[in-house]
Structures are given as structure tokens and as C-alpha cells.
A and B are shown apart, each in its own frame.
Chain A
Amino acid sequence: MSEATANDVMKDVKKSNNQSLGAMLLKSLPDACKKFDPRTMWHNPVMFIVWVGAAFLTLVGIFEIFAPELRQGEPIQFTWIIAVCLWATVLFANLAEAVAEGRGKAQADALRKTRTTTPARLVVGYDAANDPDVRGPEKGEGPTTIQEVPSSDLKLGDVVVVSAGELIPGDGDIISGIASVDESAITGESAPVIRESGGDRSAVTGGTRVLSDRIVVRITQKPGESFVDKMIALVEGANRQKTPNEIALDVLLSSLTIIFLIVVLCLNGQASAVGASVSLTVLLALLVCLIPTTIGALLSAIGIAGMDRLVQRNVLATSGRAIEAAGDVTTLLLDKTGTITYGNRQASNFHPLPGIDQDEMVKASALSSLADSTPEGQSIVALANQQGFHVAEVPGATPVAFTAETRMSGLDLPDGTRIRKGATSAVEAWVEKESGHPMEQAVNDAMHDRVRAVSNAGGTPLVVARQDANGKVTVMGVVQLKDVVKKGLRERFDDLRKMGIRTVMVTGDNPLTAAAIAKEAGVDDFIAEAKPEDKLAYIKAEQAKGQLVAMTGDGTNDAPALAQSDVGVAMNSGTSAAKEAGNMVDLDSDPTKLIDIVAIGKQLLITRGALTTFSIANDIAKYFAIIPAMFMEQFPGLGVLNIMGLHSSLSAVLSAVIFNAIIIVLLIPLALKGVKYRAESGEKILGRNLKIYGLGGIIAPFVGIWIIDLFVRLIPGF
């Protein structure tokens, strides 16, 4: 199966998520039915009780056919209808889980198709000195030999060579070579990416295809534990473990279940004190209505859907725990470049030195940048254009490219004029070398004044100098390059602050520049001239204060910080060391996503809490339906509690049970989509959710049961 096909499947998956609720439920029906197995049900204590109740009531119904005296005056269909309703409650719970899992399953299938076994060319006894990439091992030269093995046999540390057109047999780091790789199979992004040895883009993923060139890869996975394997397991929820939060909620729900179980078991004992008794059918109906079935039914669907929402955004979390931790994060470390600012800087101003004509300086700057294809260079030309200087290319001119050594670029004109622009110290050195004497003090001061001014304003200074045809060297001025802060970020950071999250910008810039950009972007703090150790130290300091820290990273030297942070999002383009250290991987390698991840984590927790509140609040109305129904005949005074004016005892009980089942189905979309989340203070969020799910949870069932009763009373015998 080719990646293209896999990609199509992925698109199908995303399409299928937009299906109507009915279609979704229908499709998941077979899977839901499989979950009736008591060994599966056992894992969900609340629903297991319902399952046992339904089975028991079915038996009671069978016995009642032969022994009508068991019915205690209730019509025979009553027990049967209630039994069916209880089975339906279990089915709806299973459906909720199946629908949630179904989405993941389709994604897993798509991924699985990429995991076909491919032949791998294993380099036996790899030695950097005898790099096959250099020596051409196919010819059988040198001490290394190539063996063809199936990719499934590759072990950790094996070295393979992959050429254009071949599938990479396993996860690894490129140790030699550079190649363009099509990673659409896992990212869904069709544009090829460059992967090369030695940098932060050295990691390759098994199942992706090399499009050009040839690379040597050291395998970094154990057999069966590849990245794709992990992804499949994750989206399928195969070894989904309950998060601490889910466990704590389970404890609460189990306690409520136990308490209601005891209430119901002991009800006839208490009722016997006053000569009343309640039939088995009504008791079971009461039990199922009281135990928190709504949240019990939807709990695992909420968890799976949360994971799924991350996957939809091309983020893979290694555990559900990581998503919850994201909700708890209080400090975000954001890299400046790419996250806060666009990757490239843009010219924003020309500052000529005293005595230099502004026009001259702009023209010189534009000229020197004409052949410069970097975004910075282009922006200088564009800015000059804006100011009315349209410089044409000079025929015969030689562009001087930027090198790491000279740290300058420029242009040599045919008449012997040379223009250079670059870092202050580099241009200064060039000027002194070309002119043969130190710079004049006045010029030097003027230059440094402007350089400092630009730095203070958060810009990057580029000094422009020109050497005439007759050898005279002049410092023309300083071009101000500005970091461009992404649009809308300030508002997002304000939102984060409302949510109680501090943002910290990490940058290699000097403190002055960093402070200026931090101010412009609206972050709370910054780390300037940051080295990876600084990040690590900062995270540790924050954590010592009790903060939970999230960060993104891609390089190998980010690995310690990623591992130390509470939520570490590794870029998929990064090294496998980084991916291993983080607890999430962003397939799109988009660091801005960190903010979305936090929102998804919060949304997951909110959904869980909202539905729990709703579920518990529902019980009030159910009591008001069932208690009068149970004892009204004997104690007419309790009729006062029948505030819904339900038709009869039987219709009241049945209506409550039907409501209890239907509400699960109605809430499946909410469980999957998650409760609406806005960036606000905890106070506001709580207030709103309490109103909707607490107050709503009290009122909704009164209305719902009343409406259902209007129909139920039409059933003969009720």
C-alpha cells in the first residue's frame, strides 16, 4: 500500500468524523454489541451494575410468566419494558465508547497500511571512517558489507542505507547524507521535507519514502516499537491506561454507586417497618436511575475523544496523562523564532550616518541586497522600493554571498565599487582592513549609537559600508531589521494570562532585543541568549515553585529540557532524541500549537467535570419521579412530591428509566466534541458551567421525564 492511498484513507477518516450522529451510531453498532461481554463490562463498574441489573430483570421477567404472583400486581409487560430499557442503557454506553473508538480505529487502519514489511539494506559492521555513502558499498568495496533483511528484523542500533524511491525501513537518525523525504503517510502533508545528518532534522520515520538522494540511517527503535506502532496503539486506545484523574473520578463514581446500591438493597428492609414493599422491577429501575450512569457511560468516550482531538490536529501524545497535564500547565516556554515571530526579519528603517545622504545610503543598501535571496535581503529591497528607490540590477556586478566566516554579504560593481552589509563587528573589521587604518572616532561613535538604538528597539542592526572605485571606504549607515511578531499573538497571550498561564519567550537574542520583542508580543517573561542549559535551569526553577511547565523543542540538546518539562512537545522534524524525551510529538512541527494543546487538555477535564455534575444533579428529578411512585398508594401524603404530575406509578418509573437511557445518546456528541471552552479565568468558567450543567442538570430531567410521561401513559396498562 502506498502512502498516497494511506493519505486518502486519512482524508476519509476526517470526513467520516463529520457524519451525522445517526450514521455514526449505526456504524458503531456491531462494535457496541461486542462490548456486552461481561469481561469487558467489568472495567466500567457503573455500567457493569446496569448490565447485571438488566440480566437479572430479564430472568425475573421469564419467571413472572410462570409465576404471576411475583409481579405484585404490576402488568407483565412492565418488567419486560424496564428490562429492555436497562439493556438499552448498556447499549448506549457501549455505543458511546464504540463511536469514539471507531474514529481512532479508522486512523489506525490508515497507519497500519504504512507498516508493511519492506526489505532493508543492512550495513554490517558500520564504521564512520568507511562510510558506505562515501565508498559506494554496492560495489562490494571496503570492509563493510550490505545484507538484505526484512525490516521487521531490524534491531536497535542497526545501520541501513536507503536510496531514492525506497521506503525507510524503521525509525532512526540519519548519520550520513541528506535527502528529501515524503512523510505524508504519517503527517498527511504532501510537500516533501528535507532530512539531513548532524542537525536537528536528522530523524526519519519508518514507512516514509525517500524521494531523492541516499541516506544512511541508524535505527533507534526496538522491533515492534516503532513510531508508527506507537501511533497505532495510541489512536486505537489499545493499551489505554486510566489517567490519575480518571481513576480519582472512578473512585467517586464507584462510591456513589456503592451508596445507592446499599440504599436500594436496604429499601425493602426499611419499607417493611411501615408495612410497605417495593417490587424487584421498581427497585432495579431506581438503582439504575440513581447510580451515575450518564457519566459512567460517557467517561471513556470523553477520554478517547480528547486523544482524538489532539490527533486531529496532528499531535500525538504518548499517554492520556500527558493531555491532562497540558490542562494543568501554568508556564509555557515558547521559542521566539517561528512561534512568536515569523522566522525571518524584515527591514523597517534606514539610519544613515551623519554626513551621508539618506538617498545614497538607501540606494547602497538596496543594491547590495539585489542578489541576496534571503528574506531579509528581499525585505531591504522592498523597503527601498516603498520609499521610492527602484534600483535596477547592474550588469556585470558580482554578488558576494554570505558566509559564516565573513558574516557579510554584498555586491562588487564592475567599476570597482564594493558594497558590504553585515554584522557590526564584521563590517567594522572589513572597513578597517580595506582602509588600512582604524575607523575615525566620530564615525565609530555614530555607528555604534545607531546600532545600540536599533538593538534597544528590539531590532537587528545591519551595517552597510561602501568602498569607492578609488578605494575610499565609507560607513554608510545602519539598516534596522525587525522581528515581526505574528498577528493575534498578543490577544492569545492575554487569554492565556486570564487562564492563569505565564508565557515565557526563549531566544538567542541579547537581553535588550529580547526585552523589546517580549514587550511587543506581550509575553510575561523572557530568557535571552538562551542556551539549552538555560532552558533546563529555568524549567527546574519554575517547577521548584510548583509550576507545571510546557515547552516545545526539536534539537537533541533540547532533550533534557523536554524530559524535565511536564509537557514536552517534540517537533516531528526534530531528532529522535527529542521525540523520545518529550511526551507529545507534533507532526506538523508547528510550535504555536502548544497553546492549542493546553486548550484541549483543559477542555477534556471540563467535559468530564461538567457531565459528572450533570449526572449527579439529574438524580433529584428521578427521585421526585420514583419515590412518590413507590409509596404514594400507601402514604397518599407523598403525592405532594409528585410535582411533575406524572400519570401513574408505572409510567413515572418507566419515564425516569427511559430518560436515563436517552440522555446518554443525546450527550454522545457533547462527549465527543467536548464542552465549549473559552479562554477565561477559572472563576468565570466555573460559574458558567455550574449554571449550564449544574442548574441545567437539575431542571432538564424534570422537563424530560414529564414529556416522556406524556407518551408513556399511552401504553396500555400504564
Chain B
Amino acid sequence: MVYLFAILTLAFVALVLAAIYKPLGDYMYNVFNTDKDLAFERWIYAIIGCDPKKGQTWRAYLRGVLGFSLLSVLVLYLLQRVQAWLPWSLGLPNVKGPLAFNTAASFVTNTNWQSYSPEQTLGYTVQFAGLAVQNFVSAAVGIAVAIALVRGFAWRKSETIGNFWVDLTRCTMRILLPISVVMGIILIALGVAQNFAGVVDVNTIAGGSQKIMQGPVASQEVIKELGTNGGGFFNANSSHPYEDPNLWTCIIETLLMLAIPVSLTRTFGRMVGSAKQGYALLGAMVVLFAISFFAVVSFESFSDDPITRLTGGSMEGKEVRFGTVLSGIFSTTSTSTSTGAVASMHDSYTALGGMMYLFNMMLGEVSPGGVGAGLYGILVMAVVAVFIAGLMVGRTPEYLGKKIGPREMKMASLYFLVMPVIVIVGVSLSYLLPFARQSIVNTSLNNSGNHGFTEVVYAFVSAANNNGSAFAGLTADTPWLDTMLGLAVLLGRFVPILLVLALAGSLAKQDAVPVTAGTMRTDNKLFVGLLVFVIFIISALTFFPTLALGPLAEGLVA
């Protein structure tokens, strides 16, 4: 029964996505490939002094990304530090330094890790002018970088890979904003809160009194999911009834998270001149996603303990209105994209169920991954897969007509090194350095043993992948974790972007090799299988010992 419901849910999500795949993918293709600038876009270009017709080399593109992001971090940091003096701050004080840094880094990198409880920390102005703006532009940066990489494959003998400012502006203005407006209205209609009522005092049935915060939730909710950001208006995130009141909002939010990452494979296919190439990447994403989803549902519904057997599912930490299946699809989506929104508490899952969420991120978030980040992530893995398999065909490996030589391999190899190194080094430093260990064990952790270890691992994996979801149970607002996770978030975002843009630059310079019968095809089932295998094996081999010490040791019974 549970499986039937799981299959129906997945099928429904798949159907809706299938319906928007072509229109949205083609629309995004047009956005990034048209020569026309809209009037207000021209004003923006005029103000920032950018010539929209001029392409940028990969270095210039990178400078744009880094410069823009640095400026964003500074502005966001300052806004938090002077919050007390801003209007509509709900009387909240200035945010402290380490936390302000952590939050600024986290939102600029599309991570939206929240070391704080929003209701008690941030007023409307910071939420609106700071966080919401970053929710849009950080998503647009990711998409822009992915488009730049796709241009690397699609363009021949080109020194340039597009114009960052144009990509950023168009993505924000033509894709993210319009969808957010429309979907925001739909969410409001379905019951998501949207007001400026501030904090309301209510008397509870039990006779106590409770302060309930309200605010412009729906307008933030859409971009939170659409831009795979995940930073909630409330601490409870999407399990809060004001953010995600019912089954339909739960499914719509799931769809919003998947819409752009999935449709971008269409955009990619169009840009490289073969929709089938996009289907292949999508195929690999779907396989990884489906396996993970069914694993979670089965671990949560059939775990071998008396309560689960009686209730028909492990319901601790899950909202009754969602159950195991909807919680499962929401969280699988949230950890497979880089959203990190939660509608249930991952910490309360069975050891192996929670491990699947951890593993979704350990895959490098490519199933389908964050907006843009998922596409460039899976493209890099495709390059690695093509290299290994391409040799086996007896030719210098090539992907989409571009040869994978030493330089391309260097960028791709370094790319898949970054995230695991951040995680593994970060976790072991947390336990090896005496003061860090003290902070972790005494302050951050409530759980000891394997589960506590998993919580720390989850925090680093979530940060390094720019996911932002929390396993919960971990007190992250300590100087050690604020700093380390802030660093992990920055390194996990910008080092890969640097490598991706360098890769785009060297690919764009190449001429394309024509396709012959001897070419390894990258648009069929064999390649999908191969890609899944390579993505799986690289993360499995890297993280097997870590998983063994954490969820596997906790969850496996001899």
C-alpha cells in the first residue's frame, strides 16, 4: 500500500514535470540565446556600465561571479549588523559577527544554512531586502555558470563564454521573478501566510500564552523552493503550517524545487543541438532520485521496531499531514536538489533512512541538483564518465564533440575532489583538534556515538554541497561550526565554480569533432547506466568509511 502510494506520488510529480519540461526548458533556452534586451534590462546594463553585446572570457566571467558575490556577502553582512536601526525590524537586535558572516556566506552561496532561528533573529527588512534578494540572485548565479559551461560545449573556437551580467539579469528578471509572482499567488490561495502582522500573542487551549510570528511568507516560499535555496521564514521551515499547510502545497513546493533543475537539461539539450543529450542526463538524475526515494520510503515504513510495526511507519519527526511518503519525496527532493528545505526532521529518521538524505548530497547533488549547480555538476561527472569509457572505445575521449584532454581532466578531477575533501577534513578536524572536539561534544551535540557523528557529518556535507538542510539535533551556532561551515559553504561554492568556468573556457576554444560510428554515444541507455555508475562509485568509494562509522554502524543489525 505504501509503495503504491509512493509510486503514485512519484508518478504524479513526474507527470507534471514532464508537462512543463519542454515549455520551461525551451523558454530558458530562448532567454539565454536571444539577442534582444528588454527596456528595463538596458537600463540596468547602463547603470552598471556593461555592454550586453560583448562576450566575456572565462576569466572575466569568473571575475563577475566572484565580484558580485563578494559584494553580496558584504551587503548582507552589514544589513544584519545594523538591523536594530532598520525599519520593520520587529525590535530584534543586531546580529552577532560570526553568525552574520555564516548567514551572509550561506545565503550568497545558495546554501541557506541557518545557524539561527529566523523568528528570533531576523526582522522583515533583512528577510526582504537581504535574504529574499539573495534567494533570487544566488540562484541566478548558479544558472548563469551552468549556461556558461553548456556554451563551452556548444560553441566552437570561441574565446568567450557569454556575459555574466546579461545572464544574471535575464535569469532573475525573465525566469525567477515571473514564476515567483504567479506561484506566490497560487500558494496564498492554498493557504500559505502572507501579511505583515508581525508577532501575535495568542492564548492556547491549554491556557498558556504563545507568541506566533507571521509575515510575508508565501512571497519568500516560492523562491525558497524555485531557486533551490531552502532558507525558511520559520525555523521549522516547510514543516511549519504557515509555510506548507497541506498535501497540495507540499507537492507544489516539491515541484518548484525540481522544475528548473530538471528543465535545464532541456535547455542544455537545445543548446548543444540534441534534445536526446539532455534526456540522457535527465535519465541518470531520475534513476538516482527514484532509487533514493524508494529506499527512504521502505526504510521509514518497514523499519524493524515495534512502534513502526504498530503505526505502519516511523512517524517521529514527521508531520501527520505528510506521512512517510510525502515527507520522503519532499526531503529526497530537498537533498537531491541543493534546496535544503525540510518538511520533516531528518534527525528523527531511521539510521538508514536518514543516510539516504546524506547520500543524496554526497553524490554531489546531481539528481537533479541545485538550479544550475546540478547541471554543471552532472556535466562534470559526465566528462569523467566519458573519459573512462571513451578510452574503452579506442578513441581520445570526447563529449559532445569536445575532446577531453589533460586540461579538461584536471578541472573535472579537481571538481570532484573539492566537496569530499572539505567534508572529510572538516569532520576529522572537528574531532582531532582538542578545542573543536570540546565545542562539538560539549556544546553542539546532544547525541553521542554514531548518531552524533552522523549529525556532524551531515552538517559538513550539507554546507560543502550548498544544500543548507540540517539534520537537526546539532547546535551549529558555535564559533567553531559557524566559522568552519561558513568556510565550507564558500569553498564548496566558489572553488567548483572556478573549475567549471575554466573548463568552459577550454572547451569553448576547441573545434568540434564530428560524430561518426566510432564515436561513443552519450545519448542512450548504456551511457545513462555508466553515468549513474560513475557518480555512485566516486561518492560511494569516498564516503564508505564515513557512512560505516555513522548511519551504517547505527542502523545495521548483525
Binding site for B on A (CB under 8 A): 244-245, 247-249, 251-252, 254-255, 258-260, 262-263, 266-274, 276, 290, 324, 327-328, 330, 497-502, 545-547, 601-603, 605-606, 608-610, 612-613, 616-617, 619-620, 623, 627, 630-631, 634-641, 677, 681-683, 685-687, 689-690, 693-694
Q: Scan B355-398; emit 1 where CB is below 8 A from any A CB, else 0.
A: 00000000000000000000000000000100111111111100
Q: Does B558 contact A (CB under 8 A)?
A: yes
Q: State whether B549 touches A631 (Cβ < 8 A).
A: yes
Given contacts A251-B409, A273-B452, contact A631 B542 (CB under 8 A): no
Q: State whether A639 touches B394 (Cβ < 8 A).
A: no
Contacts of A682 in B (CB 8 A): 393-395, 517-521
B459 to chain A minimum Cβ distance, whole angstroms, is 13
Closest residue of chain A to B534 (Cβ to Cβ) is A616
Q: Does B420 contact A (CB under 8 A)?
A: yes
Q: Does B537 contact A (CB under 8 A)?
A: yes
Q: State whether B406 touches A686 (Cβ < 8 A).
A: no
Q: State whether A251 touches B431 (Cβ < 8 A).
A: no
B401 to chain A minimum Cβ distance, whole angstroms, is 8
Contacts of A694 in B (CB 8 A): 533
Q: State whether A274 touches B517 (Cβ < 8 A).
A: no
Q: State whether A248 touches B549 (Cβ < 8 A).
A: no
Within the assembled complex, what's the spacing in Å between the Cα atoms of A362 and B220?
Answer: 98
Q: Does B416 contact A (CB under 8 A)?
A: yes
Q: State whether B518 touches A681 (Cβ < 8 A).
A: yes
Closest residue of chain B to A271 (Cβ to Cβ) is B549
Contacts of B512 in A (CB 8 A): 546
Q: State whether B388 touches A613 (Cβ < 8 A).
A: yes
Within the assembled complex, what's the spacing in Å between the Cα atoms of A617 and B421?
Answer: 21
Within the assembled complex, what's the spacing in Å between the Cα atoms of A677 and B425?
Answer: 43
Q: Does B530 contact A (CB under 8 A)?
A: yes
Q: What are 22 A-B interface contacts by the 8 Å CB criterion? A: A248-B404, A248-B409, A255-B416, A266-B425, A269-B428, A270-B545, A273-B431, A276-B549, A324-B396, A501-B518, A547-B514, A605-B391, A606-B393, A606-B394, A609-B393, A635-B450, A637-B552, A637-B557, A638-B553, A682-B394, A686-B389, A686-B520
Within 8 Å by CB of A627, from B405, B526, B544, lies: B544
Contacts of A267 in B (CB 8 A): 428, 545
Residue of B452, B513, B521, B548 most packed against chain A (CB within 10 A): B548
A587 to chain B minimum Cβ distance, whole angstroms, is 25
Contacts of A623 in B (CB 8 A): 541, 544
Contacts of B514 in A (CB 8 A): 330, 545-547
Given contacts A273-B456, A605-B396, contact A640 B553 (CB under 8 A): no
Q: State whether B537 touches A617 (Cβ < 8 A).
A: yes
Contacts of A631 in B (CB 8 A): 548-549, 553
Q: State whether A689 touches B417 (Cβ < 8 A).
A: no
Q: State whether A272 touches B389 (Cβ < 8 A).
A: no
Q: State whether A602 touches B395 (Cβ < 8 A).
A: yes
Within the assembled complex, what's the spacing in Å between the Cα atoms of A613 and B393?
Answer: 12
Q: State whether B391 touches A608 (Cβ < 8 A).
A: yes
Closest residue of chain B to A278 (Cβ to Cβ) is B545
B residues 510-558 touching A (CB-CB < 8 Å): 511-514, 516-521, 524, 526, 530, 533, 537, 540-542, 544-546, 548-549, 552-558
Given contacts A259-B421, A640-B557, contact A330 B537 (CB under 8 A): no
Q: State whether A266 touches B530 (Cβ < 8 A).
A: no
Main secondary structure of the interface of A (DSSP, over half): helix
Contacts of A637 in B (CB 8 A): 552-558
Q: State whether B545 touches A263 (Cβ < 8 A).
A: yes
Q: State whether A686 touches B526 (Cβ < 8 A).
A: yes
Residue of A270, A613, A686 most packed against chain B (CB within 10 A): A270
Binding site for A on B (CB under 8 A): 384, 387-396, 401, 404-406, 408-410, 413-414, 416-417, 420-421, 424-425, 427-429, 431-432, 449-450, 452-453, 456, 511-514, 516-521, 524, 526, 530, 533, 537, 540-542, 544-546, 548-549, 552-558
Closest residue of chain A to B432 (Cβ to Cβ) is A269
Given contacts A328-B396, A623-B544, A638-B556, contact A254 B413 (CB under 8 A): yes
Contacts of A276 in B (CB 8 A): 549
B209 to chain A minimum Cβ distance, whole angstroms, is 42
Closest residue of chain A to B390 (Cβ to Cβ) is A609
Q: State whether B389 touches A690 (Cβ < 8 A).
A: yes
Closest residue of chain B to A640 (Cβ to Cβ) is B556
Within the assembled complex, what's the spacing in Å between the Cα atoms of A414 and B347?
Answer: 114
Within 8 Å by CB of B391, from A244, A272, A609, lies: A609
Q: State whether A266 touches B548 (Cβ < 8 A).
A: no
Within 8 Å by CB of B517, from A498, A606, A638, lies: A498
Within the assembled complex, what's the spacing in Å between the Cα atoms of A187 and B216?
Answer: 86
Q: State whether B556 touches A641 (Cβ < 8 A).
A: yes
Within the assembled complex, what's the spacing in Å between the Cα atoms of A273 and B441?
Answer: 9
Contacts of B544 in A (CB 8 A): 623, 627
The 7 closest A-B pairs by CB, nearest first: A609-B391, A269-B428, A500-B518, A500-B516, A602-B394, A255-B413, A637-B556
Within the assembled complex, what's the spacing in Å between the Cα atoms of A616 and B409?
Answer: 17
Within the assembled complex, what's the spacing in Å between the Cα atoms of A696 and B332?
Answer: 32
Q: State whether B391 touches A606 (Cβ < 8 A).
A: yes
Q: State whether A620 touches B537 (Cβ < 8 A).
A: yes
Contacts of A290 in B (CB 8 A): 541
Q: State whether B453 touches A274 (Cβ < 8 A).
A: yes
Contacts of A247 in B (CB 8 A): 406
Within 8 Å by CB of B417, from A248, A259, A608, lies: A259
Within the assembled complex, what's the spacing in Å between the Cα atoms of A274 and B455?
Answer: 12
Within the assembled complex, what's the spacing in Å between the Cα atoms of A610 and B393?
Answer: 9
Within the assembled complex, what's the spacing in Å between the Cα atoms of A266 and B542?
Answer: 12
Within 8 Å by CB of A252, from B413, B429, B549, lies: B413
Closest residue of chain A to B421 (Cβ to Cβ) is A262
Within the assembled complex, what's the spacing in Å between the Cα atoms of A254 and B416?
Answer: 12
Given contacts A500-B518, A545-B514, contact A613 B392 (CB under 8 A): yes
Within 8 Å by CB of A636, from B393, B554, B558, lies: B558
Q: State whether B384 touches A610 (Cβ < 8 A).
A: no
A130 to chain B minimum Cβ distance, whole angstroms, is 53
Given contacts A244-B405, A273-B431, contact A605 B395 (CB under 8 A): yes
Within the assembled complex, what's the spacing in Å between the Cα atoms of A530 and B318?
Answer: 78
Contacts of A328 in B (CB 8 A): 395-396
Closest residue of chain A to B517 (Cβ to Cβ) is A500
B32 to chain A minimum Cβ distance, whole angstroms, is 25
A433 to chain B minimum Cβ distance, whole angstroms, is 55
Within the assembled complex, what's the spacing in Å between the Cα atoms of A619 and B544?
Answer: 11
Within the assembled complex, what's the spacing in Å between the Cα atoms of A271 and B540?
Answer: 18
Contacts of A268 in B (CB 8 A): 428
New A-B pairs, 11, CB < 8 Å, besides A252-B413, A612-B391, A640-B557: A244-B405, A248-B408, A251-B410, A255-B414, A260-B541, A266-B425, A273-B452, A330-B513, A500-B516, A616-B541, A627-B548
